[in-house]
Structure 1
Amino acid sequence: MKVYDGSQSESTTQNAPERIKVGIAEYKVTTDAALLTTSGLGSCIGVAIYDELNGAAGLVHVMLPSAADIDGGNRAKFADTGVEVLVEALEAAGSTTDAMRAKIAGGSDMLDFSENGSSIGSRNAKQVRRTLEEYDIPIVGEDLGGDHGRSIKLEAATGELIVKSANTESITL
């Protein structure tokens, strides 16, 4: 759908990559030059995985560390099974784990209700790292922790991850 807001020329609007929104506890994969976006990353983590060889890219927005903590449910909701389902979807699109690279953002300590001193954000980060390591997928960029929320955009064509937060300037990983 073409949208004209007066700030872009018509040719720029027509050439803009498709924007694919990824909600909380969702994942999406593309083999096109799309822009995968998610927002509301507090203690949640956005895991972006891309494959430069075949052009596939995917993004998952995980909420909690482990599916074992809660029986059943949506695999994309958890750091362990969310990474798994994203890797499976990328493999179905023709990628191999050897060619995959990951970038991660989020894991803030905005609301810490834990009694053992380990926040959900830091536990999410630890589990994401562990699961990516199990697949031998290197993390080549990250913006984790702190006490602020984030929104991210994965440029599928380049693998660049743009991280926006309320109290800092945007960074590109």
Structure 2
Amino acid sequence: MKVYDGSQTESAQQSQPERIKVGIAEYRVATDSAVLTTSGLGSCIGVGIYDEASGVAGLVHVMLPTAEDVEGGNRAKFADTGVAALVEALEAEGASRDGMRAKIAGGSDMLDFSENGPSIGSRNADQVRETLTAFDIPLLGEDVGGDHGRSLRLEADTGDFVVKSANTESTTL
């Protein structure tokens, strides 16, 4: 009979990549074989940026489109300043903007407020795309829109961006 006591052998511990959780309105940068994860993406957007040459990857979980008229505060909360903060952090770890590639997920319309104009989810997605374009970072894949939540992981060693949706199988972008 096998007994599970929560401990792992040294070889099992070495084979598991470090898992780094990124909360709402947060960003993190990783190198080597770490895996960046976030969940709870409804209207929020998860932006993963990877530079293959340097092996540096980063993930930001943004809530709102722009930080206009906001003094100070949390840059990661907004699509425009969150992407900028992530790019700066990636560059500080040795990534080159020329080598950066992005993938995004989220931006759902969880609640229908269509009579009040575009949803927060679609405005978030539009702002992320606009900010990535301003930084000349190509957007290689996206899983946005719909009316369902998502969680995702970004594998720092490969740049694989795996999206798990509430109503579909996992998708790798």
- TM-score, structure 1 as length reference: 0.92
How do residues 24-173 of structure 1 correspond to structure 2 at under 5 angstroms? Answer: 24-68=24-68, 70-113=70-113, 115-173=115-173
The size of the alignment, in residue pairs, is 170
Find the structure with the greater CA-based Rg. Answer: 2
Q: What's the CA shift for 1:32?
A: 2.3
Secondary structure of 2:102's aligned partner: strand
Question: Per the alignment, do residues 4 and 123 of structure 1 end up closer, same or farther by CA in structure 2, a change over 3 Å counting?
Answer: farther
Compute the TM-score of the two structures, normalised by the length of structure 2: 0.92
Aligned-partner Cα distance in 2 for 1:5–1:150: 29
Deviation, 1:4, is: 6.7
Q: Which SS does the other structure have where 2:68 is aligned? A: helix
Amino acid at match of 2:149: G
8 Å Cα contact 2:50/2:56 also seen in 1: yes
Q: Is the 8 A contact 1:41 1:150 kept in 2?
A: yes
Q: Residue type of the partner of 1:159?
A: G
Q: 1:4 to 1:166 in 2, by over 3 A?
A: farther
Given residue 152 of structure 1, which amino acid in structure 2 is its aligned partner?
A: L
**Which blocks of at least 5 consecutive residues in structure 2 are unaligned?**
none
Question: Does structure 2 conserve the Cα–Cα contact (< 8 Å) formed by 1:27 and 1:58?
Answer: yes
Question: Which ranges in structure 1 are unaligned for 5 or more consecutive residues?
Answer: none
What is the root-mean-square deviation of aligned Cα atoms in Å? 2.0
Aligned residue for 1:14?
14
2:42 and 2:60 map into 1 onto residues whose CA distance is 14
